[in-house]
């Protein structure tokens, strides 16, 4: 997280390169804060043929992006998205089992590209690529387990300008991620989808 | 410019506040320090119910005896466990939950319990000493319920789907304890304690049925479904083994010395492994208002119970007897022919007294002889097929008793007992009860 945000900050502190015709109101520093609900779906398969399972659950999500407007309408940023799925439900062999007193964090950290078309200045869309960490926390037993993988995301949203260069908006993001785990055996591969609806505050 | 607290000072203050918050809500349990041994520090609540033989330093001796016994299975490293022996009324406050029966505080390795020793909480502590990890409650409670030497009774577990149990919290259902205990004991009996400990210490710490099953299959090479079926389902007509299934006792303490009078010392001898009578019969007497309980070390065979027990066992399957015992002797009390039967002095009759005779499982049925050598007068409610004042059975001098007859009998006498092998109970011995009650009652 620190590395990505530092990259974003470094990008923002570099000498801004104004593109020809750039609006004077468009600052080189891009900063975005967003919060909203997410719904996690994850499937897990095991090496060795044991039956896999799928998991679903709701999560609060938080997103922070820091970057730079490299040219009109185009932003490159470092992005950190945190989602905490509470008490997931496991579907396994036809049954559903609540995973009570558990948290499943799906945290992604990567680079983000966001584009605002000249013709539709309220609309923006883009995508990202990065690393992800899946952390299971048992709040009752106190155990934690973190596994690493990668994440791809796509987003689109609208925003409206407020005062002092800030904008407020709504954005939908769909994150696809994959991670593997080796302990405890057997090895397992998890593939997840995390749709998020975010209220964004952008500057 | 004023001088505020340094950064270090703020950290110290924050640390103190956090420490206070963590410690909030739990006062030190009541109890006076009794003493300290290699593995235990014992505090006893003045209101605790302390039975005879466990008072004072005997409590610590009892804990060390338990440690030494269980150590033969769990091989836990040395450590120091703080044990608060509390009254029932103080347990809720000590454990932080009103309905807790006892508890272990892992970080401080402190046990709060109204009994001593408490095998369940001690097993938790021993496993924590082995490795500080957090297996799912199904396994953690399972091993805590797996090892003990006492008078626990079979639980008759229902064949419920394991998927719903392995992900549960221990507070969700008694099934986590019951099914977990049976499951762990099955694994220990089937694969051995060393293999089980290796499995336990690599098992998932997430309460996830799919992961639990995949890990089980990965480790043992068999499916959890198959293991569950082996535990819960037996061929039709056979009584499920679980009907007799109880906890596993290490049986590593010194065996009973069958030299006559027995000294009961619950701190040093909470049970006695049965000695191998080498063809003889072990006669155990619990006392006029006590009963003898002989249990299976592996916890899979029915217990033998009686006011007195005559056990002619071959010693291949280990058993132990619980205190109190008044006497233990070995002689040919149960014989295959009348003349060889050694005289056995029947304990004073009362309305609950009965004599249990046990021999190795015969092919079909076996008749054995007993010589009840004391003077008594009572009513025979069952167990003896024939009685005779002499060994005149072969000459037809004594008639078989009708199955429904309840004749008055007077000792001394000789008797025959016919023992039948059960087709529904998997056991290595057969037993029958000679039930003679005081004629005046």
A184 interfaces chain B, CB cutoff of 8 Å:
yes
B271 three-class SS: coil
For CA atoms B358, B363, B365, B368, give the dihedral sign. Answer: negative
Cα–Cα nearest to B123, from B179, B73, B186, B158: B73
Residues of chain A positioned with their CB less than 8 A from the CB of B137: 141
Residue B237: band (very low, low, confident or very high) from pLDDT cuts 50, 70, 90: low
ipTM comes to: 0.87
CA distance A106 to chain B (A): 16
pLDDT-wise least confident of A92-101, B266-275, B298-307, B350-359: B350-359
- Residues A79-118 pLDDT 10s: 999 999 999 999 999 999 999 999 999 999 999 999 999 9
- Is the predicted pLDDT of residue A7 greater than 80, yes or no? no
Residue B376 pLDDT more than 90? Answer: no
- Give me the percent of chain B exceeding a pLDDT of 90: 61
Interface contact B222, partner A, CB < 8 A: no
Which residues are registered as beta bridge partners of B24?
none
Residue A180: C-alpha distances to residues A43, B23, B325, B404 (Å):
12, 39, 59, 72
pLDDT given at position A203: 92
Separation between Cα atoms, residue B320 and residue B171, nearest integer Å: 33
B252 touches chain A (CB under 8 A): no
Residue recorded with tokens 């022996």 = B85
Q: With 0-12 CB in 10 A as exposed, 13-18 as middle and 19+ as buried, what is A91?
A: middle
Secondary structure class of B409 (helix, strand, coil): strand
Question: Given this model, what pLDDT does residue B277 score?
Answer: 83
When pLDDT is averaged across residues A149-157 and rounded to a whole number, the result is 98
Tokens for B77, please give them. 């490293």
Residue B164: list chain A partners with CB under 8 A: 95, 97
Plot region of B357 (φ>0 → left; ψ -120 to 50 → alpha; else → beta): beta
Q: Is B136 on the interface with A (CB under 8 A)?
A: yes
- Judged by CB atoms closer than 8 Å, whether chains meet at B217 and A51 is answered as no
For B233, the token pair is 């389902």
Q: At what angle do helices B57-74 and B119-130 cross, to 10 degrees?
A: 50
- Widest distance between CA atoms in chain A: 60
CA distance B351 to B333: 23
A129: closest CA of chain B, how far (Å): 29
Asked whether the predicted pLDDT for residue B366 surpasses 50, the reply is: yes
Contacts of B211 in chain A (CB under 8 A): 44, 46, 53, 184, 188
Chain A residues with CB under 8 Å of B218 CB are: 48, 50, 185-186
Mean pLDDT of B195-214: 97
What does the pLDDT average to over B17-25? 50
| Min Cα–Cα distance to chain B from A123, Å | 42
Residue A22, pLDDT score: 40
Residue B167 backbone phi and psi in degrees, to 5: -95, 0
Please state at what angle helix B175-191 crosses helix B193-200, rounded to 10 degrees: 130
**For residues B84 and B99, what is the distance between their CA atoms, to the nearest angstrom?**
17
Q: Do B169 and A90 make contact, defined as CB atoms within 8 angstroms? A: no
> Measuring CA to CA, which residue among B48, B43, B50, B12 is closest to residue B28?
B43
Residue B20 reports pLDDT greater than 90: no
Inter-chain residue contact B214 with A188, CB threshold 8 Å: yes
HSE-CB of A168 using CA atoms within 13 angstroms: 3
The pLDDT assigned to B393 comes to 78
In B90-209 the beta strands, taken as DSSP E runs, fall at 103-105, 110-113
Give phi and psi for A62, each to the nearest 5. Answer: -135, 135
* Residue B387 pLDDT greater than 70, yes or no: yes
Residues of B within 8 A of A190 (CB-CB) are none
Tens of pLDDT, residue by residue over B340-360, are 999 998 877 765 568 999 998
Task: Copy the structure tokens of residue B80.
Answer: 């120091």
For the residues B125-138, what does the mean pLDDT come to? 96
Secondary structure in 3-state letters for B339-398: HHCCEECCCCCCCCCCEEEEEECCCCEEEEEEEEEEEEEEEEEECCCEEECCCCHHHCCC
Which of 134-163 (A) contact B at CB < 8 A? 136, 138, 140-143, 145
CB contacts under 8 A, A 5-44 vs B, are 44
Sorting pLDDT into bands at 50, 70 and 90, what band is A78? very high
């Amino acid at each position: 997280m620190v590395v990505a945000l530092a990259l974003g900050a470094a990008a923002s502190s570099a000498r801004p390169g104004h593109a020809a015709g750039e609006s004077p109101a468009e600052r080189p520093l891009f900063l975005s804060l967003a919060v909203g609900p997410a719904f996690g779906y994850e499937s897990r398969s095991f090496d060795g043929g044991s039956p896999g399972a799928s998991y679903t659950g709701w999560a609060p999500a938080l997103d922070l992006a820091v970057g730079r407007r490299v040219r009109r309408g185009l932003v490159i940023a470092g992005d950190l998205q945190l989602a905490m799925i509470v008490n997931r439900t496991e579907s396994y062999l036809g049954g559903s089992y609540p995973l009570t007193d558990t948290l499943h964090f799906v945290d992604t950290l990567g680079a983000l590209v966001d584009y605002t078309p000249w013709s539709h200045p309220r609309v923006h869309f883009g995508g990202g690529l990065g690393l992800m960490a899946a952390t299971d926390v048992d709040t009752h037993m106190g155990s934690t387990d973190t596994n690493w993988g990668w994440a791809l995301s796509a987003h689109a949203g609208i925003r409206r300008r407020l005062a002092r260069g800030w904008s407020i908006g709504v954005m939908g993001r769909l994150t696809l991620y994959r991670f593997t785990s080796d302990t405890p055996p057997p090895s397992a591969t998890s593939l997840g989808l995390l749709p998020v609806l975010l209220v964004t505050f952008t500057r | 410019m004023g001088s505020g607290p340094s950064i270090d000072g703020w950290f110290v203050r924050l640390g103190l506040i956090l420490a206070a918050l963590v410690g909030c809500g739990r006062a030190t349990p009541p109890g006076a320090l009794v003493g300290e041994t290699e593995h235990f520090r014992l505090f006893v609540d003045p209101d605790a119910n302390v039975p005879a033989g466990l008072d004072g330093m005997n409590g610590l001796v009892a804990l060390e005896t338990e440690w030494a016994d269980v150590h033969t299975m769990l091989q836990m490293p040395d450590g120091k466990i703080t044990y608060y022996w509390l009254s029932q009324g103080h347990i809720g406050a000590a454990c932080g939950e009103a309905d807790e029966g006892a508890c272990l505080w892992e970080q401080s390795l402190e046990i709060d319990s109204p009994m001593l020793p408490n095998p369940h909480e001690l097993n938790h502590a021993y496993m924590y000493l082995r490795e500080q990890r957090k297996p799912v409650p199904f396994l953690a409670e399972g091993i805590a319920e797996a090892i003990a030497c006492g008078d626990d009774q079979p639980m008759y577990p229902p064949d419920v789907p394991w998927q719903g149990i392995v992900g549960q919290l221990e507070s969700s259902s008694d099934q986590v304890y019951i099914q977990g205990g049976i499951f762990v004991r099955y694994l220990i009996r089937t694969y051995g304690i060393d293999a089980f400990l290796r499995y336990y210490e690599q098992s998932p710490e997430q309460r996830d049925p799919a992961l639990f099953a995949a890990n089980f299959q990965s480790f043992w090479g068999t499916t959890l479904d198959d293991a569950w079926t082996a535990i819960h389902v037996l061929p039709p007509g056979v009584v499920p083994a679980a009907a007799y299934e109880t906890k596993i006792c290490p049986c590593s303490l010194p065996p009973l010395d069958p030299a006559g009078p027995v000294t009961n010392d619950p701190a040093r001898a909470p049970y006695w492994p049965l000695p191998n009578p080498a063809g003889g019969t072990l006669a155990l007497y619990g006392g006029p208002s006590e009963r003898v309980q002989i249990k299976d070390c592996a916890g899979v065979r029915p217990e033998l119970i009686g006011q007195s027990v005559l056990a002619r066992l071959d010693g291949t399957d280990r058993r132990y007897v619980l205190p109190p015992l008044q006497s233990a002797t070995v002689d040919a009390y149960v014989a295959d022919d009348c003349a060889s039967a050694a005289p056995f002095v029947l304990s004073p009759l009362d309305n609950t007294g009965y004599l249990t005779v046990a021999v190795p499982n015969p092919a079909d049925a076996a008749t054995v002889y007993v010589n009840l050598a004391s003077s008594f007068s009572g009513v025979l409610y069952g167990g003896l097929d024939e009685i005779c004042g002499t060994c005149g059975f072969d000459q037809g001098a004594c008639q078989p008793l009708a199955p429904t007859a309840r004749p008055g009998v007077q000792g001394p006498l000789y008797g025959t007992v016919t023992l039948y092998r059960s087709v529904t109970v998997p056991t290595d011995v057969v037993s029958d009860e000679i039930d003679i009650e005081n004629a005046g009652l």
